[in-house]
């Protein structure tokens, strides 16, 4: 199956799915879309170590869903809204593909 998206390779799609398959990581994305936050502020939200939260942020970073920058002693996490929109688009493209297929089947059946 070819998932046609304008700007994502299959590897990137895979990275996106893997990144978003984790509850904590989805929660992190939801929080930083709302407002950029430091890793330590995020870490306070979860019952896990700072290092564990940092690891989740790294997975999201590799999937290009968030970016991280230094501000003094803190690491600030920001959502990449375009990447998140693209992730949404991947799901939509599956639906569009099946719409196309249903239309093709209808045309085929009309031939008798």
Partner 1 sequence: MTVRDHAIDRDALTLTFVAEFAAPVERVWQVWADPRQLERWWGPPEWPATFTRHELEPGGEMRYVMTGPDGETSAGWWRMTDVEAPHRLAFDDGFADADGNPVPDMPVTHAEARLEDAGEGTTRMTLVSTFPSREALDELAEMGMVEGMSSAMAQIDALLADG
Q: Least distance (Å) from partner 1 to the CB of residue 73?
A: 27
CA 28 to CA 59: how far, in whole Å?
Answer: 11
| Listed residue (31, 8, 22) closest to 88, CA to CA | 8
| Residue 65 or 72 with smaller CB distance to partner 1 | 65
**Nearer to partner 1 among residue 62 and residue 88 (C-beta):** 88
Work out how close the CB of 45 gets to partner 1 at its nearest, in angstroms, rounded to a whole number: 16
* DSSP H helical ranges for 1-112: 10-20, 23-34, 39-45, 50-62, 81-110
Q: Which residues lie near partner 1 (CB under 8 A)?
A: 1-2, 4, 10, 13-14, 17-18, 20-23, 26, 29-30, 33-34, 81, 84-85, 87-88, 91, 94-95, 97-106, 108-109
What does the radius of gyration of the chain's CA atoms come to, in whole angstroms? 19
């Amino acid at each position: 199956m070819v998932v046609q998206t304008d700007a994502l390779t299959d590897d990137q799609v895979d990275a996106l799915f893997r990144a978003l398959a984790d509850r904590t990581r989805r929660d992190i994305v939801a929080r930083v879309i709302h407002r950029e936050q430091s890793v330590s502020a995020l870490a306070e939200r979860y019952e896990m170590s700072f290092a564990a939260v940092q690891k989740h942020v790294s997975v999201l970073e590799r999937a290009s869903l968030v970016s991280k920058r230094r501000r003094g002693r803190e690491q600030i996490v920001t959502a990449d809204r375009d990447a998140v929109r693209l992730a949404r688009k991947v799901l939509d493209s599956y639906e569009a593909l099946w719409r196309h297929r249903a239309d093709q089947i209808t045309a085929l059946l009309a031939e008798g």
